[in-house]
Chain A
Amino acid sequence: MGKNSIVMVKQVPDTANISGQVMRDDGTVNRAKLPAIFNHEDRVALELALRIKDQEGGKITAITMGPPRASDILRECLYMGADEAILISDRKFAGADTLATSYVLSEAIKKIGHYDFIFAGRQAIDGDTAQVGPQTAEKLNIPQITYVEEILETTSKTVKVKRKIDGGFEILESTLPVLMTVLKDACFPRPFKAKRLMAYKNAKTLMELESLTEENSLLYIDRLKEEHIAKNLYIQTLTMDDLQLDITRCGIHGSPTKVHKVESVVLAGGNHETIPPTKEGMANLVAELMDNHILG
């Protein structure tokens, strides 16, 4: 008997490479100027799921909540070895904080059902909050293990892992199902398989198929969709209606936290005294520091 995994992934702006053009004059970030990438720790999470699948079999479903273009990272999940990818997308999800996001994800997971593991990266680099994993686990009423460094052993009903704690690590054993968030050092994600890349590069969401029909009047959306489903190239999209969600808990309405103000980083100090890089300069500096009891 294989084990089924659901892997939560996120497309994020590449905050590690922020250039001058990306920062506006008022100090805010122009997200549109940032390249969108696959959050690295989520890719590591997918790799851990794949390794379990390699050994025991089972099905891997990659899910993401995001705008239509987030389908890019779902295709990457398929290239790596995920069996199915689902886009959870609706304009009404926009502006979601971690609480609203975890509500939508947990409802989508309930709809998918049948899982032994839920995997996610520890945190996404655009917010660094590390909250969505635990918040989703709480809503599903299942246990969680955060900061996972290594999966040591799985049995039919349990998993044993090594996780980081403050000042060390611990070995935990959990009954399944369990949600795990993983650290970037847990493993090195496999490269795309050429065969899978060729097979899945044409995998499309409904929105992407629709835009194809807009460009070519000879195509009919229903037939196109059927063809893609038959060839296993259809990326399912779940909307608010599909999930029968409570609108007051989605997107900006369901988000208790609001951004009140954003400032560019202000430097403290600023008016430094310039000390000449000479023997005399050092002697004077040391004398001043010692007189003020900062040194000595």
Chain B
Amino acid sequence: MGNNINTDVWVFVEQRSGKPAEVSFELLSKGLKLAENLKGKLKSVVIGSDVKDIAKETFKYGAEEALVVDDPELHNYLTMPYSRILNELVEKHKPRIVLFGATVIGRDLAPRVASHTKSGLTADCTDLQISDVTYLKKEYKDLLLQIRPAFGGNIIATIITPDNEIQMATVREGVMKMEPLSKPVKGKITEVPYTPNGIDHIIRIIDQYRTENKVNLKAAPIIVAGGYGMGTLDNFKLINELAATIGGEVAGSRAAVDAGFVPPERQVGQTGVTVRPKLYIACGISGAIQHRAGMQESNKIIAINTDPEAPIFGVAHYGIVGDAMQIIPMFINAFKEKLR
């Protein structure tokens, strides 16, 4: 590859009705590290209506430039105009890396852009790194390692795009850390005019319903999670009690959600939320790979399970073999005693 190759890292900054999505800032923080490794620039791409403030916010995460397409017509995400705009921008500037959140919008948009620009795209990454790679006896410098679970979470695959100028990835929400800089970058806003096209509004939004997600598991310092092993909805109330006592949020495994013990927005794991709290207490959770993927980076993990062979103990810092129905009340009492 020539020396004149572009080393810019782009992050598509997603907004929903004018509100930026958290995942975009998580990606900017990761993108900054990747750009430093590549000795390139981090740039944000913001599309919407009245989005200059969002563009400026990206400077707090290290973006040196924000490419902004600002037009009332673009208020809501629509596949056709957004993909057309991004197709043109990516085609023109050929950034080295383009990152999207693995959200409904990101997973709708990124494949169209990759298809149009014939770029490689890896879905749902959980880690990204820059590294030199030897692939089929050829040496490649500074490739993007796109790391993702595969085969239902049973394996971790590292994907590369060795012979392409542009490397694209969507990244799961919550897996990258959001790290605002102590001093924002003095970034520049580059306005890109929007030129409407007949095909842009071939799809029209008739109505939109969005409920503000009141549960924010990602931000909770303490999480008490219950699994199918709690047995019944009545038993699961102990999880709520423990969480209330120690000031934590209630969560559940997929099995607990499927059993109706806990609502879906509180599901931790690969198809739920990825969390890294200060303390994670797993009660009656066997610890399938899919669950562990969503919590194993917690600072401290307590596992309570009757089965000493349960895989959850493999990621735990403290393991308690026993019935959660008996152990949780003892824990609650010990905590109350200590507070007295």
In the complex, B161 has a CB within 8 A of chain A: yes
A172-180, A210-218, A226-234 - interface stretch: A172-180
Report how far A286 CA is from B152 CA in the complex, Å: 36
Query: Which of B104, B135, B278, B322 is within 8 Å of A260, CB to CB?
Result: B135
Report how far A294 CA is from B298 CA in the complex, Å: 12
Which chain A residues border B124 with CB–CB below 8 Å?
128-129
B48-56, B67-75, B312-320 - interface stretch: B312-320
In the complex, A289 has a CB within 8 A of chain B: yes
Query: Which of A134, A173, A283 is within 8 Å of B112, CB to CB?
Result: A134
In the complex, B121 has a CB within 8 A of chain A: yes
Query: Which of A134, A164, A167, A282 is within 8 Å of B212, CB to CB?
Result: A167
In the complex, A262 has a CB within 8 A of chain B: yes
Report how far A128 CA is from B149 CA in the complex, Å: 10
Interface string of B140-174 (1 = CB under 8 A from A): 00000110011111111111111110000000000
In the complex, B257 has a CB within 8 A of chain A: no
Which chain A residues border B155 with CB–CB below 8 Å?
27-29, 262-265
Which chain A residues border B292 with CB–CB below 8 Å?
265, 267
- Chain A residues 131 to 178 lying within 8 A of chain B, measured CB to CB, are 131-139, 141, 143-147, 160, 164-175, 178
A137 and B112 contacting across the interface, CB-CB below 8 Å: yes
Which chain A residues border B80 with CB–CB below 8 Å?
143
In the complex, B301 has a CB within 8 A of chain A: yes
In the complex, B79 has a CB within 8 A of chain A: yes
Which chain B residues border A289 with CB–CB below 8 Å?
279, 300
Query: Which of B115, B152, B208 is within 8 Å of A99, CB to CB?
Result: B115
Query: Which of B79, B115, B162, B301 is within 8 Å of A102, CB to CB?
Result: B115
Interface string of B172-215 (1 = CB under 8 A from A): 00000000000000000000000000010011111111111100
A138 and B157 contacting across the interface, CB-CB below 8 Å: no
Report how far A146 CA is from B112 CA in the complex, Å: 12
Report how far A138 CA is from B303 CA in the complex, Å: 47
A145 and B203 contacting across the interface, CB-CB below 8 Å: yes
Report how far A282 CA is from B327 CA in the complex, Å: 8
Which chain A residues border B303 with CB–CB below 8 Å?
272
Q: In the complex where A256-B161, A265-B155 touch, is A279 in contact with B318 (Cβ < 8 A)?
A: no
B338 and A283 contacting across the interface, CB-CB below 8 Å: yes
In the complex, B119 has a CB within 8 A of chain A: yes
B330 and A278 contacting across the interface, CB-CB below 8 Å: yes
B161 and A257 contacting across the interface, CB-CB below 8 Å: yes
In the complex, B107 has a CB within 8 A of chain A: yes
Query: Which of A18, A131, A170, A277 is within 8 Å of B152, CB to CB?
Result: A18
Report how far A98 CA is from B112 CA in the complex, Å: 11
Q: In the complex where A135-B111, A277-B326 touch, is A260 in contact with B160 (Cβ < 8 A)?
A: yes
Which chain A residues border B330 with CB–CB below 8 Å?
277-279, 282
In the complex, A281 has a CB within 8 A of chain B: yes
Report how far A47 CA is from B114 CA in the complex, Å: 29
In the complex, B118 has a CB within 8 A of chain A: yes
Which chain A residues border B114 with CB–CB below 8 Å?
99, 131, 135
B112 and A265 contacting across the interface, CB-CB below 8 Å: no
Which chain A residues border B149 with CB–CB below 8 Å?
265
Which chain B residues border A286 with CB–CB below 8 Å?
331, 334-335, 338
- Considering the complex, give the chain A residue whose CB is closest to the CB of B140: A260
Which chain B residues border A141 with CB–CB below 8 Å?
199
Report how far A262 CA is from B99 CA in the complex, Å: 22
Please give the distance in Å from B178's CB to the nearest CB on chain A: 17
In the complex, A269 has a CB within 8 A of chain B: yes
Which chain A residues border B203 with CB–CB below 8 Å?
143, 145, 172-175, 178
Please give the distance in Å from B125's CB to the nearest CB on chain A: 11
Task: Sample 25 A-B pairs with CB under 8 A, ordered by A number.
Answer: A15-B152, A29-B151, A29-B155, A128-B123, A135-B111, A138-B112, A139-B115, A166-B103, A167-B16, A170-B208, A171-B208, A173-B203, A173-B206, A178-B203, A257-B159, A260-B158, A260-B160, A269-B315, A272-B313, A273-B319, A277-B323, A277-B330, A285-B320, A296-B335, A296-B339
What residues of chain A have their CB less than 8 Å away from a CB belonging to chain B?
Answer: 13, 15-16, 18, 23, 27-29, 97-99, 102, 125-139, 141, 143-147, 160, 164-175, 178, 255-270, 272-279, 281-283, 285-287, 289-290, 294-296
State the 10 A-B residue pairs at the shortest beta-carbon distance, nearest first: A277-B322, A256-B120, A168-B210, A135-B115, A134-B111, A129-B123, A15-B152, A138-B115, A131-B111, A261-B158
